[in-house]
A and B are shown apart, each in its own frame.
Chain A
Amino acid sequence: MKFSPLVQELIHSFKCLPGVGAKSAQRMAFHLLERNRIGGKKLAESLASAMDNIGHCQQCRTFTEADFCEICLSPKRKISEQLCIVETPADVIAIEQTGEFQGLYFILMGHLSPLDGIGPDDLGLDILESQLAKNQFKEVILATNPTVEGEATAHYIAELSKKYQVAISRIAHGVPVGGELEFVDGNTLSHALSGRKNYHF
């Protein structure tokens, strides 16, 4: 059986979401049509305006509809001397939730991955260089993921920032809180051991 063209198109459109196949798309479409027309309309409106208006922050490349994002505009952070480099906007949220970091961010929107065809030119490193050239920062914190690709990205950026006289640091690797050493994989554990710190009283 075939649905009418409009219904068919709606189902098909839902399939562009990650993790949504034919069945889930159908379920979503029917749910909105049957039970939640208001919610559906709202979704359509916010989708339309988001797709039209949201771009990248000119300074840190996060998603925002304004020229600069809130973090970059904050007066306290504007004069900060730390720059934290992360892979995705989700990483910014994660770090923000810790409340440990009061500096500025730079978001790469990915990592170097030659086999997927993502090279240095795709990570907005020219914008990063222009930021570093302003000489505002004293420290660059490399907070890319602890994967081989993330490590490669961190190294590439470290080499790039060397000429700007900044301290370059890499976030530590270690055992998760509440974890058990027994179940931690060998690589993480060896990183945790080799990067151990002096005990502070």
Chain B
Amino acid sequence: MKELEQNAFLLHSRPLRDNQVIAEFLTELNGKVSAIVYVGTSLKSNKKALLQPFTPLIIVLKGNGNLKTLNRIEVSSKSFLLTSEHLYSGFYLNELQVRLLGEHIPYENLYALYKRCLVQLAEKNAIEPVLRRFENTLLEELGLTIDFSVINDQVEQFYYFPEQGFIPVIENLTQPRYSRAHLIAINNQDFSDVEVRKTHKVLMRQIINHLLGGKPLNSRQLFKKR
């Protein structure tokens, strides 16, 4: 069997035994893959240095089952140096993927997008647009698109219900309301208004929270205390 080299990013790793870790990679060809990695404890072994998030890697996996074994790992270029909130955002992206992606499902655009997001985060661009775009694409790759066609001009405010879409506000519910103007702007990808961006954030948060089954994302805690 010819070994397959592919680009990947480490999303998360957790210790398994003294010299083994289970690592979750976002690969270019196979989507999210878990693999057992042997990390030597000797001084010469520098695998631990390679097994860091936000480092572009070239990996070779072997094994037939769901849980692969890492055969080879190299660094393909310099790791992205994220600092402060850009670093926390990086964790947020990783956590989203670890929690939401299925294993061994090749998501076409995700790897390239993830890399582009990391570049932008490393360049200290504004965080919000990066995260929103990633969330959007992630949802699309998961097969979830938001249907904006029901928004007509008779109603000013809408609720969003998972699996049902937008529903005009008639009764009072304890749910976020979205104004029609903002939704139209989001649909047209026009994020120049701060309020539109806020609405977009609330909307995304509602959808993602639903997908996560109500369990909170831990990386959000890092942003809280400011």
CB nearest neighbor in A for B24: A115
CB contact list, A99-151 vs B, under 8 A = 112, 114-121, 147-148, 151
Q: For A196, list chain B residues within 8 Å (CB).
A: none
- B221: interface (CB < 8 Å): yes
- B2: interface (CB < 8 Å): no
- A52: interface (CB < 8 Å): no
- Say yes or no: A119-B221 contact (C-beta < 8 A), given A148-B87, A187-B52: yes
- A3: interface (CB < 8 Å): no
Name the contact of A115 in the complex, choosing from B50, B83, B88, B91 (C-beta under 8 A).
Answer: B91
Q: For A185, list chain B residues within 8 Å (CB).
A: 46, 49-50, 75
- B212: interface (CB < 8 Å): no
Main secondary structure of the interface of B (DSSP, over half): mixed
In the bound complex, CA of A21 to CA of B53 (Å):
30
Name the contact of A152 in the complex, choosing from B87, B217, B226 (C-beta under 8 A).
Answer: B87
Chain B nearest Cβ from A4, distance in angstroms: 30
In the bound complex, CA of A63 to CA of B43 (Å):
28
Question: Do B52 and A116 touch across chains, with their CB atoms under 8 A apart?
Answer: no
Question: Do A119 and B14 touch across chains, with their CB atoms under 8 A apart?
Answer: no
Interface flags for A142-165 (1: CB within 8 Å of B; 0: not) read: 000001100110011001100000
Question: Do B95 and A184 touch across chains, with their CB atoms under 8 A apart?
Answer: no
CB nearest neighbor in B for A156: B222
CB contact list, B177-226 vs A, under 8 A = 217-219, 221-222, 225-226
In the bound complex, CA of A88 to CA of B193 (Å):
46
In the bound complex, CA of A182 to CA of B65 (Å):
36
- A183: interface (CB < 8 Å): yes
Q: For A117, list chain B residues within 8 Å (CB).
A: 218
Question: Do B49 and A187 touch across chains, with their CB atoms under 8 A apart?
Answer: yes
Q: For A53, list chain B residues within 8 Å (CB).
A: none
Question: Do B17 and A152 touch across chains, with their CB atoms under 8 A apart?
Answer: no
Q: For B46, list chain A residues within 8 Å (CB).
A: 183-185, 188
Q: For A148, list chain B residues within 8 Å (CB).
A: 52-54, 87
Main secondary structure of the interface of A (DSSP, over half): helix
- Say yes or no: A120-B222 contact (C-beta < 8 A), given A18-B18, A187-B55: yes
CB contact list, B75-134 vs A, under 8 A = 75, 78-79, 83-84, 87-88, 91-92, 94-95, 98
- A5: interface (CB < 8 Å): no
CB nearest neighbor in B for A160: B225
Question: Do A114 and B49 touch across chains, with their CB atoms under 8 A apart?
Answer: no
Name the contact of B17 in the complex, choosing from A19, A155, A176, A190 (C-beta under 8 A).
Answer: A19
- B62: interface (CB < 8 Å): no
In the bound complex, CA of A184 to CA of B46 (Å):
7
Total A residues in contact with B, Cβ cutoff 8 Å: 28
Question: Do B222 and A112 touch across chains, with their CB atoms under 8 A apart?
Answer: yes
- B68: interface (CB < 8 Å): no
Q: For B54, list chain A residues within 8 Å (CB).
A: 148
Chain A nearest Cβ from B209, distance in angstroms: 16
In the bound complex, CA of A19 to CA of B18 (Å):
6
Question: Do A116 and B87 touch across chains, with their CB atoms under 8 A apart?
Answer: no
In the bound complex, CA of A118 to CA of B218 (Å):
8
Interface flags for B33-46 (1: CB within 8 Å of A; 0: not) read: 00000000001101
Name the contact of A188 in the complex, choosing from B11, B49, B53, B84 (C-beta under 8 A).
Answer: B49
- A75: interface (CB < 8 Å): no
Q: For B44, list chain A residues within 8 Å (CB).
A: 183
Between B75, B78, B87, the greatest number of chain A beta carbons within 10 A of the residue's beta carbon is seen for B87
22 contacts between A and B (CB under 8 A): A19-B17, A19-B18, A112-B222, A114-B217, A114-B219, A114-B222, A115-B11, A115-B98, A115-B218, A116-B14, A119-B218, A119-B221, A120-B225, A147-B52, A148-B52, A148-B53, A148-B54, A160-B225, A186-B78, A187-B79, A188-B46, A188-B49
- Shortest Cβ-Cβ A-B pairs, 10 listed: A114-B219, A114-B218, A185-B49, A119-B221, A185-B46, A115-B12, A114-B91, A148-B53, A19-B18, A148-B52
